[in-house]
Amino acid sequence: MEGKQAEELAVQYLRTQGMRIVARNWRWRGGEIDIIAKDGDTLVFVEVKGRTSPEFLSPQEAVDHRKRLHLWRSAQAYLQGKPAVPVRFDVVAVTPAGIHHIRGAFQEEDVRASA
């Protein structure tokens, strides 16, 4: 599944879950965050993984330590100069079988401890 199509399906899904989309494809010199959303008072940084074939790593497995570190650093860049808020890191896996939303796919503390 093409990245843009997977992201659009993820956005639609997150909205049905009551989340408000704050930004899509937010870029900085260190990379990009697919989706930034608000879930109540929590700011959620979402990595979208789309797959068309089971031959590759599952979307969840594709968010390895290196990708988690990148997301954490990108979140820090986004939050710079903004008021402190609770944050969460989610993965939305989009496959032919459907959408799988992994809330709190990893914790900020786990990434910081190994950074």
The CA distance from 59 to 40, in Å, is: 26
Find the helix or strand (DSSP H, E) in which 8 lies.
helix 3-16
Question: Which of 20, 36, 38 lies closest to 28, judged by CA?
Answer: 36
SS3 37: strand
Question: Cβ atoms within 10 A of the Cβ of 9, count?
Answer: 17
All structural domains of the chain? 3-114 (3.40.1350.10)
More confident of the two residues 56 and 13: 13
Greater pLDDT, 63 or 94:
94
Beta-bridge mates of residue 24: 35
Reported as a single tens digit per residue, the pLDDT across 27-57 is 999 889 999 999 999 999 999 988 776 555 5
Confirm if 53 and 97 have CB atoms less than 8 A apart. Answer: no
Q: Which amino acid is at 8?
A: E
Q: How many CA atoms lie within 13 A of 3 on its CB side?
A: 6
